[in-house]
Every structure is written in C-alpha cells, then in structure tokens.
Structure 1
Amino acid sequence: MKVSFSVFPTPRRTSETPTPNRTNLVSGGAQYQSPNAFARRRFSGSAVGGAPVFVRGQSTFGQTLFNSIAILLGVGMLSEPLAFAYAGWGVGTLLIISYGFVACYTAKILARIILQDPRVRSYSDIGRKAFGPGVTPIISLMFCLELFAVCVILVTLYGDSLHALLPRYSSNSLKIWGLLVLIPTVFLPLSLLSYTSILGIMSTILMVVVIFIDGFTKAEAPGSLWEPLPTDIGVTNYRELGVAFGLFMAGFSGHAVIPSLARDMIDPTRFDSMINWAFVVATTIYTAIGFAGYLMFGNNVSDEISMDLLRTTGYNPWLNQLCLWMLVLSPLSKFALNAQPLNSMIEILLGTDTPFASPEDLADKPDGLSVAAIGSSFGWKRAIGIAQRVLLTGAAVTVSIFVPEFSAVMAILGSFSAFMLSIVGPVVANVAIEGVCGPFDAVIIAAGIVMAAWGTTAAFW
C-alpha cells in the first residue's frame, strides 16, 4: 500500500494543459495553476462575478513555522514524564512518535481541504462542507469544552506552582485569590493580550533548559540523569495506559488554528514542508522532556515535573524558583487569551455580543465609546456580558478546585478533545468530501475512536 502525504502534488504538463498566466483562476482544480502563483496571491472567500479572488498571504515560511511550533508547545509538556511512567519505555516511545506522525498527517488534510475551496475559512467551515450545517453546533460545543478545559488547566498550573513557592497557603486558596487578577484580564482587548503570550514561550524554553541543567548537574538520585531511578519497559497498568493516551495526545492538539496558518502563508505550496518541521521540533522536545523527567524521577514522577524540581534538594534553588515564577505568571497572562474565543462564542449564543462600530460612528458620540441610543437594550447586553465573563472565570476556578489533578484534566483534554478534533475529525471530513476511505484512513479512524473512548473513561475513573 502506498500512502502519499503530499498536499500539493505537482501537475504534469501535457499538450492540452493551458499555459499558466496571471489571470488564471482555479476552481475545484479544473485549471492548471503554477505553484509559484501562490507566492503572489491566495484564495479569499470573496468573489467577483462568481469567480474566487486571490488575496496575498502575509506570513513567510519561517513566520508560519514559528507560529506552528508556538501553538504545539504548551503546558502539556509538564506531564510528558508521567505519560512515560504510565506507558513504559516501549509503548510510550511508540505512542508519542505515532501521535506526532498522524497529527502531522491530519494537519495536511485540513490544509488541503481549505486551500482547494476558497469558501472554506475555518475548521467549522470544513465540518459544514463535509457534513452539512447541522454539524456546526456539535463542533462549536467541542471547541467550547476544549477551551474551557485549557482554562481549568491554566488555573491548576498557576495554583500548584504558587503553592510550591508559598507552601504556607493552600493551592485552593491561592486559586481563589487569583480571581482578583484573572477577572480584570478577561475584559482586556486582544491587542494587549497578544503581548503577554511571550511569557508562555519564555517559560517553555526556560523549563526545557532547567530540566536538563538540573539533571546533568546532580550526581546522585533522585533527580539525576547520571543515576536514574527505577523505570519500566512495558505497561504495568492498563487503566493508566488509557490516561497516557490523553497525556501524549494533548501536546499535539491545535488543529483548529491550522486553517488560518495555511491561508496566511505567502506560498502555501510549502505548507507540507513547514508543518513537517513543526511536528519534528515539537515531537523531539516532548520526547526529550519525557525521557529526561522519567529517568530523573522514575515511576514516582509527579503530575507536573516542575513540582519535582522544586521539592528535590541539590539543585540551584534560584534557577528553579525563577522557572516556577514563570509558570505562575504565564498561566495568569494566557488565561484571558484562551478564554476570549470561548467568551465570544457564548455571547453569540446568548445574543449579547456587541456590534462593532466604525470610527465615524464613534466620533459623533459624547463618550466616544458607545453607539447605542439611550434607553436601548445595549446596556443590558453589556451587563449580561460582564456577568457572563465573571461567571465563566469563576467556573474555571471552581472546576480546578474540585478536580485538582493536573494530569486528569490534561488526559481528558487529550483523550476526548484532541483525538476527536485533531485525529478523527479531519480524516472523517476528508472521507466524506472525497467519498473514498483508504485502509490507512480507516485504521486512523478506528484507532482514534478506541483510544479516545479508552482514555476518556480512564481519565474520569
């Protein structure tokens, strides 16, 4: 069986192939299009006279690669050592490499679908194209659950990290006090929140560096790469193996952003190469952290390896405390950024979303802020919107308090959301659109559903 992973095959020139020129428009692949043309323009959802219009992309190969890596590398790396402890060396290594390979394959599927049809702009559009408008609420619900789970994880990470630095205060009380910081941030505009994402990238890089510095500078166990603790080659508990499915898979979620990345490339014919490098980098970093953490702390590794680094003596305390403070500030800064699309989606469902106004409309208003007439329902919508954002933030903190296990929430996120949205969903959509299901795709669908059900059940157990 021959499986092709190329999204953009190079067309063969024949005597009947029209000569490419700057006026050629592609519709369903019926006309030849020079690959170099993508460097000048790309599809847009707009049309003139019923024909799709090309719009120039904004991101280079390197910029898209950096954004892809930044999306893939997140807080999921903290639980990679625990995933290896649950799965063992053999199965764990097989799983993390297989998940990276398959997730890369499904990312290319999404890119191919969205670049072939100028009307498709997002993940939801792909679902609508494949299954009709009735699937949109289901996809929206799954995205809401995924975003809410991420918010809960960020609260848990903040509370656990700060508790490790200030042990006199309980993790739950620190989570409640964190509302004083979290609630104001959910009202900040995205233009300000985007600057805070650099903290997340810095904390990720610092965590990787600290793990290896600690492991190589400590000569004796525990926490040393020179004197590893006992580990397992195979699986010792099949319920824990199900949890490992979700822990490994959580690091490779993020396919909801793939359509935007593909459309914004100046030359989307290079998407395959770009996403290959992104997943190679992410898989390598996740595997390195998992290997190092499992060797250093063995089968007793914590849900978050950062907690083990702080509790173990013999390390540089200043370096580890700096790393933990970054893990405190990073979730606080990223919470609002992750909650923003969820809040917007809820406001649309409730009908409380505020319409945007042009600068000309605002210029005529005394306060320069409101476009609503006095006595209109705009004030009530704003009040409901404020209450909704406060309640959602409180709900994330509440769930984090009642479900304090970092690995449990990560496993649920990876098992249910990541498998369905990043593995099974793209393949099923492609099968529905193409009308053909090859053996490789059938195996991915069957294995993805089984692992999602197994992992979700084990995580809730």
Structure 2
Amino acid sequence: MVSTSPPQPKEAPYSEKSGENHRVREAKWWYSTFHTVTAMIGAGVLSLPYAMAYLGWGPGTLVMVFSWCITLNTMRQLIQLHECVPGVRFDRYYDLGRHAFGQRLGKWIVLPQQLIVQVGCNVVYLVTGGKCLKKFMEIACTNCTPIKQSYWIAIFGSIHFFLSQMPDINSISGVSLAAAIMSLSYSTIAWVGSLSRGRAPDVSYEYKKTSDVDSMFRVFNALGQITTAFAGHAVILEIQSTIPSAPEKPSSIAMWRGAVWAYFVNAICYFPVALVGYWAFGQDVADNVLVALEKPAWLIAAANLMVFVHVIGSYQIYAMPFFEVVEKTLVARFKVTHGLGLRLFVRSTYVAFTTFVAVTFPFFGDLLGLFGGFGFSSTTYILPCILWLKIKKPQRFSLSWTFNWGCILFGVFILFTSTIAGVRNVVVDSSTYDFYS
C-alpha cells in the first residue's frame, strides 16, 4: 500500500531532543506575550493615522478590523502547526515549510520571504530609532548644535553592535519586556496627546490626494502600512520554540494564551492611535504621528525616547533568528567553529549592512508600505494558510478551506499592489531627497 501521508522530517535539528541545535525551553506563557508584542508593535503603529488619511474613516477602520481578525487566526494556525507531528517541533518557519513541501523546495519557498521581513523590519527600525532619538534631543536640548539625521541613525545602529552579541532570543528577554512596556506607553501618549491637543484648525477628512495616479499608489501604500502593523508571524515559531512542551500540555496552549494577550495589547495600542490621530489631524497628519505633536514638550520627548527603547528590542527580536540561520549554515557548509569569532563577524557585518541601508534610504512611510506589501503579506496572510491547507488538508469548500483561500487571495492582492506602490513612492521621494542629509 502506498502511503499518502505528508513526508516526515528527516533532519535531527527538528527534534525536541536534538543535540545539535538544543534549545533552552524554559519560557513561560507571558514571555511569548511580550516577545510577540515587541515583534508586532513598533514603527507601524505611528503610521496608522497616515494610512487612514488615504483610506478614510470607513474603509480604513474596516481594513484594520479585518486585518486584526485575520492575522490573529493565521497566527493561531502557525501555533497549532508547530507540533503537528507527534514528538517533533518545527522551531523555525522554514522547518515547517520543509515538512510541507519537501526539504529543498520548502526552504526556498519560506526562507526568502522570512528574510525579507526580518531584514526589512530591521532597516525600518533603524530609521525609526534614529528619527526618534533626533526628535528627543531637539526637544530636550534646544540650544544644541543640530546633527544630521544620518548620524542619529548611525548612532542607533552602533548600539546593536553590542546587543547583537547576546547568544539567543532567550538572552534578550529583559530587553524585550522593556520594549513591550514602552510600546504600550508611547502608543498611549500618542493618542492621549492627540486627544488633548484637539482637532487641528480647518481639519479635513476628505481623502488625501494629489493627482489621480499618485493617489492610487498612495492608497496601495497605505494598505501595505496596515499589513505591516498586524504582523510578527515571521518569528512566531522561533518564539514558541522557547516554551516547554509535553504530551499532556503541548506548547501551543501556553503560546496561544500569550498570543491572545499580545493581540489584546495590540488592539489597545493600534485602534486608539489610528482613530484619534486621524480625528485630530485629518488628511494633514504626518507619517509619524508623534512628529505632529509639539506640546507638552517633555511628554513628546519622553514618547520619542520610549519609541527609541522599543525599537531596540524589536530589532533584536527580528535579528536573532537571522543570526541563527546564517551561523548554522556557515558551520554546516564551511566547518567553521561556532563561537565568539563567528558570532562577532556575522552579527557585526549584518548590523553594518542594515545601518548603511537605513542611512541611505530613510523613507519612513514608504519603507513600511514596501516591506509590508512584499514581505509581511506573504508570511502573515499567504504562507500560514498555504501551510495549513497542505498539512491539515481541510475538506474542499468547508469553512476552513474557504477562509484560507480567501486570505491567500487577499494576501496576493496586498503583495502586488503595495509592493508596486512602495517601490514607486520610494523612487518619487528619493528624487527630492538630499541623501545623507
């Protein structure tokens, strides 16, 4: 008899008891909450009012609610698939891809999308951290000599030359917790500050538009920004891999509990910022709502400093899985000794590369749309659903089958429209930008 079951993973690194890539699995469920919050909330929350300016009250709110619900479900699916084979844990996104599509094909389907998200996020976080640090210093020291934005981004990047030398995701739990607290704090300051400021004079809620062609691309870019905001899936399996598991109490129970709380925090951060920020500034809102707030100065300075602290943790959450993949590959292919020397070389090179890109292309809103459309739509909307259909094989035209195919089609739409818009907007904005200014 020919077996029709999906191929079983053959490599030891997938196993819970594997010695080669043994993981410390001692995290509690609340670890997953603040790791997920740190991975999800960041640059995106501050751009939501800007996205609303192109989508309007009705469509903007609808897309946000729709995205929140869909991405919570696709995260649930990934959490359930983490241990879809008894006795085996898929600790990395591409491990799950290899189980579903085969050793070679699965890796090349999943890994490029995951790397785009991780590298793209790190570039955006560098830009955000540099800009917020610059804003903080301008408010805190009005008599200081102005420093170029490029230098502030480089200063933010230099911090990660040191933090990146920490061994793994478990070792940055304290940084991640501080980042999660900061995200809730500065989001609250953003919407409370907007509410206290009140509606801007002559505020308009008409659709933000220039020419018809430009408006169309900006709407697509706004969709990409919202897609970026509701994400974190690219590293969710890596987060779950730190949680212990047993047959009577699989890791999915604790991970799902942490994810639900993370999405609760997400909601109380995102929706007030988006709706109140748009209410206060209308179509003239900046692509970073904190930039539009000027009083009280000390509170705005504190908020910018909180964003700075938060994106430090966010950078590390997305960088650590990348470091693991690269270091593991170099050890396997080139027989390099896994130690301090390899870690110093790989991680310092990566920090230097992402910092260079961030200094060269600091287009905050456009970068969010570009990376959101191209990377996050795949890892958040498309791949989880494809993996679920491939592994779980729900009955055709059932609710699960229909829902997952709907998510895939929506994700493909976001993939093409916002990626094209993001590239176009970066090109347009770069034509008027003074590089390294």
Q: TM bucket by the smaller chain?
A: 0.7 to 0.9
Return the alpha-carbon distance in structure 1 between the equivalents of residues 267 and 107 of structure 2: 31
Structure 2 counterpart of 1:186: 164
Structure 2 counterpart of 1:450, one-letter code: F
Q: After superposition, what is the alpha-carbon deviation per residue over 1:291-319, rounded to whole angstroms, capped at 9, x for unaligned?
A: 1111122212222112112xx3xx21111
Paired position in structure 1 for 2:191: 212
State the one-letter code of the partner of 2:386: V
User: Which residue is 1:121 aligned to?
Assistant: 90
2:232 equivalent in structure 1:
254
Shift of 1:382: 5.7
Q: Determine helix, strand or coil for the equivalent of 1:351.
A: helix
Match of residue 120 from structure 2: 149
Say which SS state the counterpart of residue 231 (structure 1) adopts: coil
Letter in 1 for 2:230: F
> Structure 1's 428 and 169: CA in aligned 2 closer, same or farther, altered over 3 A?
same
The counterpart of 2:53, out of the listed 85, 102, 106, is 85
Deviation (angstroms), 1:57: 8.6
With normalisation by structure 1, the TM-score equals: 0.72
- How many Å separate the matches in 2 of 1:278 and 1:170? 36
CA distance in 2, matches of 1:63, 1:346: 25
Mapped contact 1:172–1:401 kept (Cα < 8 A): yes
Distance 1:200 1:447 in 2: 31
Matches within 5 A, 1:315-394: 315-332=295-312, 334-351=314-331, 378=337, 383=341, 385-394=343-352
- Out of 433, 438, 451, which is 2:414 matched to? 451
* Alignment size in residue pairs: 380
**3-state SS of 1:343 partner:** helix
Q: Check 1:417–1:271 CA distance in 2 against 1; reply closer, same or farther (3 A cut).
A: same
- Whether the 8 Å CA contact 1:58–1:264 is kept in 2: the answer is yes
Residues 352, 384 of structure 1: 8 Å contact kept: no
The corresponding residue for 1:131 is 101
Give the match for residue 433 of structure 1: 391
Matches for 1:160-309 after TM superposition, within 5 Å:
160-167=131-138, 168-190=146-168, 193-219=172-198, 221=200, 229-232=203-206, 237-259=215-237, 260-261=239-240, 264=244, 266=249, 268=252, 275-276=259-260, 278-309=262-293
Q: Is the 8 A contact 2:117 2:234 kept in 1?
A: no
**Counterpart secondary structure, 1:116:** coil
Alignment partners' CA distance in 2, 1:404 and 1:276: 33
State whether residues 53 and 282 of structure 2, in contact with CA within 8 Å, keep that contact through their aligned partners in structure 1: yes
Q: Hey, what does 1:370 align to over in structure 2?
A: none
Which digits, 9 at most, give the CA deviation of each residue in 1:373-428, with x for residues without a partner? xxxx759x865653332222121111112211111222222212211111110111
8 Å contact 1:152–1:396 — kept in the other structure? yes
Deviation at 1:270, TM superposition (A): 7.9
Task: Report the Cα distance in structure 2 between the residues aligned to 1:70 and 1:158, rounded to whole angstroms.
Answer: 14
Question: Contact 1:162–1:171 at 8 Å: present in 2 too?
Answer: no
Distance in 2, matches of 1:116 and 1:346, equals: 26
User: Does structure 1 retain, via aligned residues, the 8 Å contact 2:49–2:275?
Assistant: yes
Question: Offset of 1:276 from its aligned partner?
Answer: 5.0
Find the counterpart in structure 2 of residue 421 from structure 1: 379
Which runs of no fewer than 5 residues in structure 1 stay unpaired?
1-27, 29-43, 48-55, 223-227, 356-376
Aligned to 1:401: 359
1:441 maps to a residue whose letter is N
Distance 1:399 1:434, change over 3 A: same
Counterparts in 2 of 1:65 and 1:187: CA distance versus 1, 3 Å: closer
Distance in structure 2 (CA, Å) of the matches to 1:261 and 1:382:
26
Quote how far apart the aligned CAs of 1:449 are.
Answer: 0.7
SS state at 2:28 partner: coil
Return the letter of the residue paired with 1:232.
Answer: E
Contact 2:120 2:371 in 1 (8 A): yes
TM-score (normalizing by structure 2): 0.76
Contact kept, 8 Å, 1:89 with 1:233, in 2: the verdict is: no
Give, in angstroms, the shift of residue 221 of structure 1. 2.2
Q: Which residue of 2 aligns with 1:53?
A: none
- What stretches of structure 2 of length at least 5 have no aligned partner? 6-14, 19-24, 139-145, 425-437
What RMSD in Å do the two structures reach over aligned CA positions? 3.4
- Residues of 2 paired with 1:354 and 1:188: CA distance? 23
What SS does the aligned partner of 1:240 have?
Answer: helix
Determine if contact 1:196/1:333 at 8 Å carries over to the other structure: yes
Partner AA of 2:102 in structure 1: G
**Contact 2:49/2:274 (CA < 8 Å) preserved in 1?**
yes
Q: Who wins on radius of gyration, i.e. which is larger?
A: 1
Q: How does 1:96-111 map to 2 (within 5 A)?
A: 96-111=64-79
C-alpha distance in 2 between matches for 1:454 and 1:325: 34
1:323–1:284 distance in 2 versus 1, CA, 3 Å: closer
Q: In 2, distance between residues paired with 1:77 and 1:296?
A: 16
Cα pair distance change 1:291/1:347, threshold 3 Å: same
- Identify the match of residue 405 of structure 2 among 426, 442, 446: 442
When structure 1 is superposed on structure 2, of 106-115 and 316-325 the one drifting more is: 106-115
Q: Distance in 2 between matches of 1:195 and 1:391?
A: 24
Deviations 1:150-180 (A, max 9, x none): 2111210121112223451110122234444
C-alpha distance in structure 1 between counterparts of 2:164 and 2:35, whole Å:
23
Aligned to 2:428: none
What is the rounded CA distance, in whole Å, between the counterparts of 1:336 and 1:114 in structure 2? 22
After superposition, what is the alpha-carbon deviation per residue over 1:227-278, rounded to whole angstroms, capped at 9, x for unaligned? Answer: x821136987221121112111112212244445396575745876765554
What per-residue deviation string (whole Å, max 9, x for no partner) do you get for residues 421-458 of structure 1? 11110111122224455333222212211211111111
Q: Which range is displaced more, 243-252 or 261-270?
A: 261-270
Distance 1:280 1:378, change over 3 A: closer
Q: Is the 8 A contact 2:33 2:259 kept in 1?
A: yes
- In the alignment, is residue 158 of structure 1 matched against residue 116 of structure 2? no
